[in-house]
Amino acid sequence: MIKYYFRLSMFNKIPNPYLICALTVLGIVLHIVGDTHRIFALANCDLLLIMLLISGNAQVRIFLFVFAICLSLSLFNYYDLFAGLTTTFIVINSILKVTYFLWGWIKVLSTLIKKQKITGETISLAVTGYLFIGVICSFVYFSFWEISKDSFHLSYARDFELKSWNLSMYFSLITLTTVGYGDIIPSSRWLMVFASFEAITGLIYIAVIVARLVSSYDAFD
């Protein structure tokens, strides 16, 4: 029964690919330009809506529960209610976000693999899957940034102008696209390894998934 439920929920059709892609772009933009905790909270609500659309009715309660935990942990840190547990809350928050967005990314990939006929919706979903890589990695960078400000080296004093969520999302997307401006450099060896694998994952995704879909695209569908 559990196995059947997992398969049913994992491979059901993802609705509104265009809307999901647009909301993903909006969430990324809000993370980068948002300069207050209210905008940051709005960006997280936007990402929750994306996951609810992807999951469908089957996992609504699960994702609402996960979001409630993440929101509570964020509020605890913001109001410094449990000062001694700040690092623990940040790590748990990051793990939860990475887990449920990784699930969403796997579901997007499974949907793309099953597609026999490539349409504009499929291409839109493929773009969303690519952006999800950057979003997932940004959660990891954000947790490191919050725990230790020395995790990254900035070439100039941008840390006085921008928030950690701005810089983590920006750095993740720059790494994903292998642009590498060099204005933000990981100071930890393990972060360097993680950033390297993010870049490699982005290249493999483009080479294997997006290239295949674009080559099979039926413009007259």
Neighbours of 68 (CB within 10 A): 11
Distance CA(197)–CA(174), nearest Å, equals 13
Instruction: Answer whether residue 168 shows pLDDT above 50.
Output: yes
Q: What DSSP string describes 9-56?
A: HHHSPPP-HHHHHHHHHHHHHHHHH--SHHHHHHHHHHHHHHHHHHH-
Tell me the backbone φ, ψ of residue 121, rounded to 5 degrees.
-65, -40
Instruction: Answer whether residue 3 shows pLDDT above 60.
Output: no
Instruction: Answer whether residue 56 shows pLDDT above 50.
Output: yes
Mean local confidence (pLDDT), 152-168: 79
Residue-wise pLDDT for 188-199, tens only, equals: 899 999 999 999
Instruction: Answer whether residue 169 shows pLDDT above 80.
Output: yes
Range with the lowest mean pLDDT among 2-11, 103-112, 208-217?
2-11
Diameter over CA atoms, the chain: 60
Considering only residues 59 and 167, tell me which one the structure prediction assigns the higher pLDDT: 167
pLDDT confidence bin for 217, thresholds 50/70/90: low
Predicted structure pTM score: 0.87
Residue 202: both structure tokens together? 């982005």
Q: What percent of the chain has pLDDT over 70?
A: 86
For residue 149, what pLDDT is reported? Answer: 82
Has domain 16-215 been given CATH number 1.10.287.70?
A: yes
Q: What is the CA radius of gyration of the chain?
A: 18
For residue 220, what pLDDT is reported? Answer: 44
Instruction: Answer whether residue 10 shows pLDDT above 70.
Output: no
For residue 53, what pLDDT is reported? Answer: 85
Neighbours of 176 (CB within 10 A): 24
**Mean pLDDT over the full length of the chain:** 83
Q: Where are the beta strands (DSSP E) in the chain?
A: 152-154, 184-186
Q: What's the Cα-to-Cα distance from 185 to each of 29, 31, 126, 173, rounded to whole Å?
A: 22, 19, 29, 14
Residue 217: both structure tokens together? 């695209």
Considering only residues 6 and 143, tell me which one the structure prediction assigns the higher pLDDT: 143
Residue-wise pLDDT for 80-116, tens only, equals: 788 788 888 899 999 988 998 999 999 888 888 777 6
Instruction: Answer whether residue 205 shows pLDDT above 80.
Output: yes
Which residues lie closer than 8 Å to 113 by C-beta, 6 or more apart? none
Tell me the backbone φ, ψ of residue 157, rounded to 5 degrees.
-75, 55
Considering only residues 122 and 199, tell me which one the structure prediction assigns the higher pLDDT: 199
Tell me the backbone φ, ψ of residue 153, rounded to 5 degrees.
-110, 125
